Structure 1
Amino acid sequence: MTMTGSSAIHPRIVLGTCCLSLLLVMMDVTVVNVVLPSIRADMHGSFSTLLWVVDAYTLMVASLMLLVGSLADRFGRRRMFLLGIGLFCGGSALCGIARSVEMLVMARAVQGIGGSMLNPVALSILTNVYVEPRARAQAIGIWGATSGVALALGPVVGGILVHWVGWQAVFWVNVPIGLIAIVLTLRFVPESRGGRGRSIDAPGQLLAIVALAMVTSGLIEAHNYGWSSPTISGFLGFGALSVLGFVIVERRTASPLIDLRFFRAWPFSGAIVTAVLAFAIFSAFLFLNTLYLQDVRGLPALQAGLCTLPFALGSMTCAPLSGRLTGRYGARLPLLISAVGFGISALLLTGLDAHTPLWLLLVSYGLCGCGFGMCNAPITNSAISGMPRTQAGVAAAIASTSRQVGALLGIALGGALSAGSVRAGGVQWEEFPQATHVVWWCMAIAAAGIAGLGLVSTGIRAKESARQVAALLDSN
């Protein structure tokens, strides 16, 4: 690893700069949900375009996150970080001036490209600035806490901005914050590169993008074309072939995008699947509930955002508790608590209708926030558990990517499963609560899956599999 720049490095300012960029990116993941009804009313978009406004961003982040880490190591982390902030702010400005839903979706994709360059690169910058292990752990803890706070507060901030300014404000507010981050980066963040440039797995990266794009397109557009239509069959079939091609390429290439040997370790595989399930629950839960609160209950954006405060409080309360429990007892206990929170939250909504008591909704939101707050620390811990130190960063990056894949699929699946309320003339909002019941049952099943994975991936045999994989990776 090489580092260049000012000889006087200010670690706290670097940490603040990285947290500022993370605040932008992670808040944008959830802030858009609460403004979707306003966008639909202003631009007369269809139900599927609402899904694309969210998923165009997440698709780019999920597809490019692993590639960006390699590019940053090769061409410079600060350089990639600056490019990411610039693209994110540029995409935000394009969202603010968008006059059609198609332009908005394209601008969201530009935002996503920029966003994919920020999270993994920021973490690499921090690990190189904070050399002492204890200080590094504290810095990464603050960085991770910022992520949780940003995700949880996104809907509340979105509601406030829509109420007082307009939906465009949730995008324009990114620009001045991003400019501040650019100035701080240029002034205080040192340039650094990896000690050995890793070759780029172009075929694997292309297949990953195609697979995610095809599966997402098939799920989002299914209610427009019908599940049995050749178009949807083509999307999903081509996506499945791309996944198969990705596996074949990754097994044969010398420098794979994802080393498939990692998945022989049960804790790692369990963490990846858990991340997909947890973030699918999280993203679909917020997406459907913000639509329900505004379009079914008739609440203005500000009140809808405030209704999600129990989620924010639950997440912020349980996230640090999860870290302590994981450090003391391992991943099993917080994963089981997370599953209980997610499961009860979903079950409370299986009878959702237009007149469901507000107190029940708030309890459900709070429990979902607790489940979400509990899951992140054990996911990361399980992903890197037993891995060689040289591979821990790659394992954590794959876990972060799986979170984005889960968020991507959660929106698409949530929309597809609740599409029973969609007609040619638009969404029949009086039918929407009933149409979401299948989603809540699926979430409850996913929560049970998290509990099962928490038990299986933390046992003695799982730990032994991780030791075997670590020995295998160390021998190469």
Structure 2
Amino acid sequence: MTDRIRALSLTEENRRWWTLGAMCFALFMLMLDNTVVNVALPSIQSDLNADLASLEWTINAYTLSLAVLLVVGGRLGDIFGRRKIFLIGVSVFALSSAAIGLAPSDTALIVGRAIQGIGAAMMMPATLSIVTNAFPPHERGKALGTWAGVSALALAIGPVVGGFLTEQVSWRAIFFLNLPVAAAAIAMTLFSTRESRDETVGRQLDYAGIATLTIGLTGLVLGLIEGNAWGWGSARIVGLFALAVVSLAAFVVVELRVRTPMVDFGVFRSRQFAGASSVGFIVSFGMMAMFFFTALYMQNILGFSALEAGVRFLPTTLVLIVMGPLAGRLTDRIGPKPLLVSGMLITGASQIWQSFLTADTGYSFLLPSFVLMGIGMGLVMSPMTTAAMNSVDRTKAGVASGVLSMGRMVGSSLGVAIFGAVVASVGSAKLEQSLPGLPAGARDRLSESLGGGGVSDGAAPARIVDATHDAFISAFGTGMKISGIVAIFGAFVALALIRGGRPAAPATVPAEAEAEAELAPA
């Protein structure tokens, strides 16, 4: 009994594990919100009389504000204190969740989701930088493996929890669920987590850097989100991308001249950080597109409900739950390089497997590829994060985690956008072949349905339904082949840029020497 009490008491020996627990509570809430909302969209549409554009912005408002402000959130933690910014972020996230749960209209819901993204942008890089600061390099693999496992657990049960609460209580309950989780995260953080910041820089804010980065990323992410809807060659999309290029170029110029930049480009002098960031971008590029469009296939072609489709993703996420912590421990023993290379190859193989899907193969054909995807993702996520965070000094953990997370978010948006463009172009060509006598206007309307998996209206003629399903599956196969090739390319990136060997313990390599070696020019 005494040993149990001692184990639960806060000591210098176990403080870092209490800190990890607090960060995992917050991370669980963040990742759960990524998946529970999707299954609630039909109920939200019915309750608030929302149109399709409002439903899209229910997702996009959160994604946009999160992607744009991740680096800013990481830098604020470095300057003003990571624990402080984390606690503010949790509070903003919880209060906005409560406001969304009480939202009287779709406009209020979208505004609440945007504010929720701001809170998430303050939390996400803080969780990673706080864990990195709490653990020495030779233990970070184990800690970040646990961190990745909690993330996978939230993704796994998100559709199930969201479907259950939506059907049995209300869609509003999925947002109220965040309140007790946020309260637990705040209590544990105040109890266990020490404050940390980057003591090498002043506390001045780089307002010019914030402005140019925010404008540039807003233009880029908004263009990626709306490219298929507005047309990739339209004036609005071209204008957004031009604005992004000009603003991001201005951001680089500003950052190279100001005394306290938002992003310390010195982190990219580490070949390992550049490689890990590239792998994070590539794996997110394929993963989100695969989940998004495979869910459409299972619901609109196989006829599963949102909850049934979510349950059928469990093989991927449950394997990921097991593989994440295991890969983290292996990283501490053998280093991240072999895990990243093999993980990206397995991920690519899973995506190429799915490219051979047909209207008749069904879920039994998908199941082995889902298991492979869980293994591949599990071998990538925590070693990639460990490789990136071990390659920078602890004082730069906030901005490094912000850059890493931002790259993954932009990779996700780019993957879904490019996959959507492939579905639209390849699917339209397939429809033209299978329905040659159909008027162009009617065929264009059918092409628009491909973004949702094809026509699923029972009143439509069978040949029309079959043609749109065949067009979607053909385009899906092309998109998955592209994603698989990109993932295999990511394996070669890891092979070329990630350092071999295990992280050195502090007793054998001083922290100062480690930081100098990691930040040496590649």
Question: Same fold by TM (over 0.5)?
Answer: yes
1:346 counterpart = 2:351: yes
Report the residue type matching 1:455 in the other structure: L
Q: Which residue of 1 aligns with 2:219?
A: 214
Q: Which residue of 2 aligns with 1:439?
A: 479
SS at match of 1:427: helix
1:176 counterpart = 2:175: no
The alignment's C-alpha RMSD in Å is 3.5
User: 1:324-335 counterparts in 2 under 5 A?
Assistant: 324-335=329-340
Cα shift at 1:376: 1.5
Q: Which residue of 1 aligns with 2:308?
A: 303
Alpha-carbon distance change, 60 to 158 in structure 1, aligned in 2, over 3 angstroms = same
Cα shift at 1:306: 0.7
Report the residue type matching 1:457 in the other structure: L
Q: Which residue of 2 aligns with 1:455?
A: 495
SS at match of 1:346: helix
Q: 2:299 aligns with which of 285, 294, 301?
A: 294
Q: Which residue of 2 aligns with 1:3?
A: none
Give, in whole Å, the separation in 2 of the partners of 1:276 and 1:403: 5
CA contact (8 A) 1:96 1:169 kept: yes
Give, in whole Å, the separation in 2 of the partners of 1:270 and 1:50: 36
Give, in whole Å, the separation in 1 of the partners of 2:48 and 2:164: 21
Q: Which residue of 2 aligns with 1:360?
A: 365
SS at match of 2:263: coil
Can you list the C-alpha shifts for 1:198-246, whole angstroms capped at 9, x where unaligned?
4322222222222222122222222333222211111112112222222
CA contact (8 A) 1:350 1:440 kept: yes
Q: Which residue of 2 aligns with 1:24?
A: 29
CA contact (8 A) 1:162 1:301 kept: no
Report the residue type matching 1:172 in the other structure: F
Q: 1:122 aligns with which of 119, 123, 127?
A: 127
CA contact (8 A) 1:338 1:374 kept: yes
Cα shift at 1:268: 1.9
Give, in whole Å, the separation in 1 of the partners of 2:518 and 2:342: 33
Alpha-carbon distance change, 161 to 281 in structure 1, aligned in 2, over 3 angstroms = farther
CA contact (8 A) 1:163 1:301 kept: no
Q: Which residue of 1 aligns with 2:449?
A: 427
1:83 counterpart = 2:88: yes
Q: Which residue of 2 aligns with 1:464?
A: none
Give, in whole Å, the separation in 1 of the partners of 2:218 and 2:43: 26
Q: Which residue of 2 aligns with 1:400?
A: 405
Q: Which residue of 2 aligns with 1:256?
A: 261
Q: Runs of 5+ in structure 1 lacking a partner?
A: 1-6, 461-466
Q: Percent identity?
A: 37
Q: Which residue of 2 aligns with 1:226?
A: 231
Alpha-carbon distance change, 382 to 48 in structure 1, aligned in 2, over 3 angstroms = farther
Can you list the C-alpha shifts for 1:155-193, whole angstroms capped at 9, x where unaligned?
333333334334333222112322343455556656565
SS at match of 2:262: coil
CA contact (8 A) 1:226 1:232 kept: yes
Can you list the C-alpha shifts for 1:39-74, whole angstroms capped at 9, x where unaligned?
456667666655543332233223222322332344
Range with greater deviation from structure 2 (113-122 or 346-355): 346-355
Alpha-carbon distance change, 410 to 371 in structure 1, aligned in 2, over 3 angstroms = same
User: 1:372-387 counterparts in 2 under 5 A?
Assistant: 372-384=377-389, 386-387=391-392
Cα shift at 1:367: 1.8
CA contact (8 A) 1:156 1:308 kept: no
User: 1:271-290 counterparts in 2 under 5 A?
Assistant: 271-290=276-295
Give, in whole Å, the separation in 1 of the partners of 2:246 and 2:186: 41
Range with greater deviation from structure 2 (383-392 or 240-249): 383-392
Alpha-carbon distance change, 338 to 469 in structure 1, aligned in 2, over 3 angstroms = same
User: 1:127-142 counterparts in 2 under 5 A?
Assistant: 130=134, 139-142=143-146
Alpha-carbon distance change, 243 to 77 in structure 1, aligned in 2, over 3 angstroms = closer
Give, in whole Å, the separation in 2 of the partners of 1:131 and 1:219: 37
Give, in whole Å, the separation in 2 of the partners of 1:378 and 1:269: 14
CA contact (8 A) 2:43 2:171 kept: yes
Larger radius of gyration: 2
CA contact (8 A) 2:217 2:244 kept: yes
TM-score normalised by L of structure 1: 0.84
CA contact (8 A) 1:162 1:302 kept: no
Range with greater deviation from structure 2 (412-421 or 245-254): 412-421
Q: 1:241 aligns with which of 238, 241, 246?
A: 246
TM-score normalised by L of structure 2: 0.77
Alpha-carbon distance change, 192 to 385 in structure 1, aligned in 2, over 3 angstroms = closer
Can you list the C-alpha shifts for 1:374-429, whole angstroms capped at 9, x where unaligned?
11223123324554554456434432332233233333334444345796596352
Can you list the C-alpha shifts for 1:231-274, whole angstroms capped at 9, x where unaligned?
11111121122222222222222322222233343322221111
CA contact (8 A) 2:101 2:176 kept: yes
CA contact (8 A) 1:275 1:402 kept: yes
Can you list the C-alpha shifts for 1:428-454, whole angstroms capped at 9, x where unaligned?
524343443332122112112211112
Q: 1:93 aligns with which of 70, 95, 98?
A: 98
Report the residue type matching 1:240 in the other structure: V
Alpha-carbon distance change, 392 to 227 in structure 1, aligned in 2, over 3 angstroms = closer
Cα shift at 1:278: 0.7
Cα shift at 1:472: 9.7
CA contact (8 A) 1:158 1:305 kept: no
Cα shift at 1:311: 1.0
